[in-house]
């Protein structure tokens, strides 16, 4: 092994070759730090109130508050509470009646048919009026 180690020519050749290697680029370590954070290899800096210790403190405080509210707070008596008034909806129905005036010699059936015809005509006039009103004002 000594003869291998004492090879000064080879040692020098290796040394010269190593010195020809370009130096590490500047900013490479900053780039690596960025990717290490990206790969979750590093602990992320969290605000104090979001730290693990504080998280447990908040959790404990919430539990205590919940316990106090549920078990220790005095129950409100029903007497002090104002009576609840439930208003029931009322419905008023008005019944309308149709009175047909019978012309001379008209039977009630004929009068009813004439009335329906009149209603139909009124409806058609109303439909025509609406149609007129919603007619677009512009032409293509």
Interacting residues toward another protein by CB under 8 A: 1, 3-18, 21-25, 28-29, 31-33, 35-37, 39, 41-43, 45
Return the half-sphere exposure (C-beta side, CA atoms, 13 A cut-off) of residue 107.
Answer: 3
Nearest distance, CB of residue 44 and another protein, angstroms? 9
Nearest distance, CB of residue 48 and another protein, angstroms? 17
Contact between 111 and 101 (Cβ < 8 Å): yes
Phi, psi of 89, deg, nearest 5: -70, 140
Nearest distance, CB of residue 54 and another protein, angstroms? 18
Which token pair is 64?
Answer: 């205590």
Which token pair is 114?
Answer: 């004439």
**Nearer Cβ to another protein, position 31 or 49?**
31
**Nearer Cβ to another protein, position 21 or 86?**
21
């Amino acid at each position: 092994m000594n003869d291998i180690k004492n090879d000064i020519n080879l040692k020098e050749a290796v040394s010269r070759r190593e010195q020809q290697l370009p130096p590490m680029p500047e900013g490479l370590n900053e780039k690596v730090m960025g990717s290490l954070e990206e790969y979750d290899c590093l602990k992320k800096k969290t605000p104090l109130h979001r730290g693990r210790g504080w998280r447990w403190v908040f959790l404990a405080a919430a539990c205590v508050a919940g316990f106090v509210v549920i078990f220790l707070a005095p129950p409100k008596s029903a007497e002090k509470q104002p009576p609840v008034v439930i208003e029931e909806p009322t419905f008023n129905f008005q019944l309308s009646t149709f009175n047909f005036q019978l012309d001379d010699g008209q039977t009630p059936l004929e009068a009813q048919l004439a009335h329906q015809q009149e209603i139909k005509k009124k409806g058609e006039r109303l439909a025509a009026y609406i149609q007129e009103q919603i007619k677009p004002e512009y032409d293509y």
